[in-house]
Amino acid sequence: NAGVTQTPKFQVLKTGQSMTLQCAQDMNHEYMSWYRQDPGMGLRLIHYSVGAGITDQGEVPNGYNVSRSTTEDFPLRLLSAAPSQTSVYFCASSRAGAGGNSPLHFGNGTRLTVT
Amino acid sequence: LAKTTQPISMDSYEGQEVNITCSHNNIATNDYITWYQQFPSQGPRFIIQGYKTKVTNEVASLFIPADRKSSTLSLPRVSLSDTAVYYCLVGENAGNNRKLIWGLGTSLAVNP
């Protein structure tokens, strides 16, 4: 199993450009999520999904869109990049289910710089 | 929603036991306590998880007192490779109400 795969690893954008960060998992996990990690601010949840066709906002959703057409894929779209979106982005997935906790499995991140 | 507080940094030496304590005063009944480890340029990796009392696996132990308002991650006999950032996470991963909030992490430096 590859686990959670994120592409690209690095990306530089100019202000106003758009792009899609890809995330795929091969563990048949229902739950998938996107985080951004900034120095001194820890991990902040952007969007998450509890299954195909279902998405919801996290703590910092503005400027980002997501969709979940399949169980495996959960792309994150930046509509019009801004310097404030310079960050490291992590995708994570886990099994979902009632009555317990399923640990998150993370990808190795995409480092995004917006100039 | 529970929030967590943990020390920003800790220093240790090879072979010592390291204990990192996380405070979560408003933990909810259904919340679990999970610890993750993160190395530079990698995503966080699951270490251990518990609900109450003590949990032990091949890499760490997790101590949770009866009131569950704090928890302590214990790393026995650390090595240089344990230098990393450790995150305490409190929340419930079940169902649709899944909005986990992460603390700022504890940066552990293990010295020779």
Residues of B in contact with A44 (CB under 8 A): 102
Contact A101/B41, CB-based, under 8 Å? no
**Close Cβ partners of A68 (under 8 Å, ≥ 6 residues apart):** A32, A49, A51, A52, A53, A54, A55, A74
Residue B86 contacts A where some CB pair is shorter than 8 Å:
no
Q: What is the mean pLDDT of residues A80-95?
A: 95
> What are the tens digits of pLDDT across the range A20-58?
999 999 999 998 999 999 988 889 989 988 899 999 898
Question: For residue A104, which of A56, A43, A62, A60 has the smallest C-alpha distance?
Answer: A43
- Considering only CB atoms, A106 lies closest to which of B34, B43, B105, namely B43
Is pLDDT of B1 > 60?
no
Q: Does A39 touch chain B (CB under 8 A)?
A: no
Instruction: Give the percent of chain B with pLDDT over 90.
Output: 69
Q: How far is CA A83 from the centre of its chain?
A: 18
Averaged pLDDT of chain A: 92
CB A10 within 8 Å of CB A110: yes
Do residue A94 and residue B93 have CB atoms under 8 angstroms apart? yes
Cβ atoms B18, B77 nearer than 8 A: no
Residue A101 to residue B49, Cβ atoms within 8 A: yes
Contact flag B92-A101 (C-beta cutoff 8 Å):
yes
A10-21, pLDDT tens digit by residue?
999 999 999 999
Q: Which residue pairs, CB below 8 angstroms and at least 24 apart, start in B15-18?
A: B15/B77, B15/B78, B15/B79, B16/B77, B16/B78, B17/B74, B17/B75, B17/B76, B17/B77, B17/B78, B18/B74, B18/B75, B18/B78, B18/B82, B18/B108, B18/B110
The string of pLDDT tens digits covering residues B78-100 is 999 999 999 998 876 544 455 67
Min CA distance, B13 vs chain A (Å)?
A: 25
Q: Does A103 touch chain B (CB under 8 A)?
A: yes
**CB of B42 less than 8 A from some CB of A:** yes
